[in-house]
Amino acid sequence: MVSWQQWQESWDRQQEWYLPDREERFRTMLDGVEALTGTEPRVLDLACGTGSISARLLRRFPGATSTGVDLDPALLTIARGSFQGDDRVTFVTADLRDERWTEKLPYETYDAVLTSTALHWLGTGELRALYAQLADVLRTGGVFVNADHMPNPDAPRINAAEHAFTRARQERAKAAGAVDWPQWWTDLAADPQLRDVVAERFAIFGNPAEAEGDHDDAGAHPIDWHIRTLREVGFAEATTAWASLTDAAVLALR
């Protein structure tokens, strides 16, 4: 039997190697959901991965429901295994770059859309188009929160110092046994019961262990770009809900 809990926990530890403030951003996201939509929201967990946001959502709001959307077959397999038997959660395989992806959703509208550390992989035009779609998916008064890399290009010395500080912290953690993104995928591929679905994932996205360099800030936009764009595509208000030196959570009200 696959230990879904074990893989969930190892996923969290791997993500925390990159994002030591991960739980803080999740808490802020859910604070915004509660403040604006109450304690029983219908939530769209966008680019859900293994269901990290959904897990925290349901732990805090037992009366909530969640639809997780992702394209990664391996992460969705872990998510489905982890939430098996919980009828509050539904998972959907969809490519957010496909303009018809919303047709796969089980509901026409949602109270909240949440996403973390995922959308910076989209191109500028793709992200703008997605934001416009989310304005249609949310009910009036619904809330969207995107927590992601949002560095300020006008602060190069601050960015460089933060980058060096983070690298040093990561190296210390790795020396103590922490697992990074490529190693996590290597470990997952070694699980005989998940090997086939990991191979399917590699066929779509490539093998992280074979990638050259790292992603860093490629494709990331500053906070003001997100706020401006969300307002332009139909959100009534948008603001910064949380921020670190290089990351932020932008919250928008439909």
pLDDT in tens, 228-244: 999 999 999 999 999 99
Average pLDDT, stretch 96-109? 97
β-strands 42-46, 65-70: how paired?
A: parallel
Contact between 110 and 127 (Cβ < 8 Å)? no
Q: Which pLDDT score is estimated for 73?
A: 98
Contact between 58 and 88 (Cβ < 8 Å)? yes
Whether the per-residue pLDDT at 214 is higher than 70: the answer is no
* Tens-place pLDDT, residues 162-171: 999 999 999 9
Using CA atoms, how far apart are residues 44 and 115, in angstroms rounded to an integer?
Answer: 9
Contact between 11 and 184 (Cβ < 8 Å)? yes
Whether the per-residue pLDDT at 215 is higher than 60: the answer is no
Domains within the chain, CATH numbers bracketed: 4-153+214-253 (3.40.50.150)
Contact between 31 and 70 (Cβ < 8 Å)? no
Contact between 242 and 248 (Cβ < 8 Å)? yes
pTM confidence score: 0.96
| φ, ψ at 53 (rounded to 5°) | -70, -45
Whether the per-residue pLDDT at 213 is higher than 90: the answer is no
Q: Across-strand partners of 116?
A: 147
